[in-house]
Amino acid sequence: MIVLPTEALEEYIENPLVKRLYLTDVGFFPMAKHHARIRKEGIEEYILLYCVEGCGHIWVKEKEYCLQKNQAFCIPSGQPHRYCACENNPWSVLWVHFKGTDTAFYPLEECKVVLPPPAEENRMLFLFGLLFSALEDDYSLGNFVYISQVLSLALAELYQRNYSPSNNGLSILPMLSAICTSTSTKT
CATH of 2-186, one of 1.10.260.40, 2.60.120.280, 3.30.70.360, 3.40.50.300: 2.60.120.280
Specify the amino acid at residue 48: L
Which range is least confidently modeled, 41-50, 53-62, 117-126, 160-169? 160-169
Domain ranges of the chain: 2-186
CB 122 within 8 A of CB 70: no
Identify the DSSP state of 156.
Answer: I
Sort 3 into a burial class: Cβ within 10 Å, 0-12 / 13-18 / 19+.
Answer: exposed
- What CA–CA distance (Å, rounded) separates 154 from 23? 12
Q: How big is the chain, counted in residues?
A: 187
| CA distance linking residue 24 with residue 184, whole number of Å | 49
Whether the per-residue pLDDT at 169 is higher than 60: the answer is no
Instruction: Find how far residue 112's CA is from the centre of its chain.
Output: 13
Mean pLDDT of all residues in the chain?
A: 85
Residue 81: its pLDDT value, please? 97
Read off the pLDDT of residues 40-91 as tens digits, 9 standing for 90 and up. Answer: 999 999 999 999 999 999 999 989 999 999 999 999 999 999 999 999 999 9
CA 74 to chain CA centroid, Å, is 8
Question: Which of 19-33, 42-56, 58-72, 119-133 is predicted with the least confidence, judged by mean pLDDT?
Answer: 119-133
Given this model, what pLDDT does residue 89 score? 97
- Helical (H) or strand (E) element with 38: strand 36-39
Distances (CA, A) of 18 to 101, 104, 172: 10, 15, 31
In whole angstroms, what is the distance from residue 139 CA to residue 10 CA?
11
